[in-house]
Amino acid sequence: MESNTVADFVYKHNNIKGAYMVFIASASVFLDVWDLTSFGFVLDFFKADLHPAGVMLGISVAAANIGAIAGAILGGYLTDKFGRKRLLMYNMAVFIIFAFLIAISTNIFEFTLFRLIMGFSIGSDVATGFSYIYEYISRKQRNHYYSLWAYSFSVVALIAIASVFLLYHITHNDSVWRYIFVIGGIFAAIILLLRSRMTETPIWLYGNGKYKETQDVIKHVYGEDININQSGQKNHVTLKNIISLFRNGLNRELVFAFSLNGIVGFIGWGFAFYITYMLETLKLFTFYQILGADAIIYSFGFAGAIISPVMAKHLGIYRASVIPSIIAAIAIFALFITFAGILPVYLVIPFSIIIIFMNYSGPMAYNAVLNGFIPTSLRGVGNGWNYMFNKITEAVSGLTGGAILVLVGLKFNTIILFIIVAAFTVIAVYTGKSKYFKKGYASDLQTSPEE
């Protein structure tokens, strides 16, 4: 058959190994979520073991996100320049090394430094992974992975709860936090082994003039021989690509994706990361009861992930994103009223359920939103900017959230969180009124010359 572009072929043909490739390529999503949730569940033990001060607690928590900020933007550039598979291998190797170093760190400064470097590998890998995924599955298959981040977050959170429960039951000491990093390192080692069998994406190969390799990969993955048009323009990736993304007339759409990112970042770290800590502060539940509450809360998160693609299909991306964001902001304000003593304290858990459910059913699909309109030639850079913004919000939220919670308490942290989430929601409401988000899935749209 004749094909003008490899992208046209890939986006029209289902990948029979799609689910497997998505899982392996997006492993850093699971690792990022594992770090966020499992560490949050054992934060009290970490404090008792290494004794960080209020500000240092925030810095150590935010270190992974600070490293991921640099990793996301540089990783996005590097994956466009050197290839998806190569970066997926390098990133995971770095993660393994520093996950084990974190587990044996002897003081808060070692912990923070190692966590910073580990965060760099996560940031780079997530940008690379999403670039890989959306270049290796059809538009039809994209619909199944619309809520990829939300699925990952909720499922891994539930696994983390069960793991922390078992670890605490077995060890019953303050070193329990170290084992979660060991588990993360072991999982990463398995992923690295599986990734060694992956192929480079045919779209990246074709865009870089590797025509023979492109044909070989398509033959291997799809079982078809295609005649490659070898007169196509090659991608010339330079550092200028990092900023050229904002010159292609999609700035409104980028701001919309970034605003959803901001909502997720602040709810994820300013609130979700500290749920266990907040419940412990209330002194109303035992540790095991709190883990049970965490499991219920994240189960509703998983339910939100399930309905997310359904909402996007029937309401359109714009309404499916902003309506849950508005409800989540209202629930955060209700939580502030509860912490202020105006509402009964037992409402903390129901309001937490609403916040997490709405976050997962709407704005958590920001990666799918961005990859629906970003040009193929700038996909790595686009995912890098997107994830970098996510990590900036998470770093700020984790840093300030930890310090504010320790220094001034639950009430002030929650009202600040409400103001920030409400501001991002207003931006999303305004910027999301784009022609690209008026119908169905982002992946149903054809938005760039390469596609």
Q: Please report the DSSP string for 137-190 in residue order.
A: S-HHHHGGGTTHHHHHHHHHHHHHHHHHHHHHHHH-STTHHHHHHHHHHHHHHH
For residue 97, what pLDDT is reported? 95
Distance of CA 176 to the CA centre of its chain: 25
Residues 6+ apart with CB under 8 A from 204: 80, 83, 84, 135
Max Cα distance, the chain (Å): 70
pLDDT in single tens digits along all 451 residues of the chain: 334 478 788 888 887 777 777 788 888 778 877 887 788 778 778 888 888 876 787 788 778 888 988 898 888 888 888 889 999 999 999 999 999 999 999 899 999 999 999 999 998 998 888 888 888 888 777 767 777 777 777 788 788 888 888 888 887 777 888 998 999 999 999 999 999 988 898 888 888 888 888 888 888 888 787 877 766 556 655 666 667 677 767 788 889 999 998 998 888 777 877 777 778 777 777 878 888 888 899 899 889 988 888 888 888 888 999 999 999 999 999 999 998 889 998 898 999 999 999 998 988 888 788 877 777 777 888 888 888 888 788 777 766 666 666 666 778 888 888 999 999 999 999 998 877 676 554 443 344 434 4
Distance of CA 186 to the CA centre of its chain: 20
- The rounded distance, in Å, linking the Cα atoms of 39 and 52 is 15
Contact call for residues 347 and 181 (beta carbons, < 8 A): no
CA nearest neighbour of 136 among 23, 235, 305, 257: 23
Specify the DSSP class assigned to residue 363: G
* Structure tokens, 40: 């949050």
- The rounded distance, in Å, linking the Cα atoms of 432 and 54 is 38
- The rounded distance, in Å, linking the Cα atoms of 373 and 451 is 10
With H, G, I as helix, E, B as strand and everything else as coil, classify residue 2.
strand
Got the DSSP string for 3-61?
ES-HHHHHHHS--TTHHHHHHHHTHHHHHHHHHHHHHHHTHHHHHHHH---HHHHHHHH
* Structure tokens, 221: 């993955």
Contact call for residues 80 and 241 (beta carbons, < 8 A): yes
Got the DSSP string for 216-270?
HHHHHHH----EE-TTSPPP---TTHHHHGGGSS-HHHHHHHHHHHHHHHHIIII
For residue 40, what pLDDT is reported? 74
Cα distances (angstroms) measured from residue 239 to each of 11, 19, 281, 390: 28, 33, 47, 21
For residue 449, what pLDDT is reported? 38
- The rounded distance, in Å, linking the Cα atoms of 132 and 99 is 24
- The rounded distance, in Å, linking the Cα atoms of 142 and 368 is 8
Phi, psi of 2 (to 5 degrees): -100, 135
CA nearest neighbour of 104 among 33, 166, 50: 50
CA nearest neighbour of 22 among 137, 143, 188: 137
Residues 6+ apart with CB under 8 A from 8: 451
- The rounded distance, in Å, linking the Cα atoms of 99 and 180 is 9
- The rounded distance, in Å, linking the Cα atoms of 261 and 266 is 9
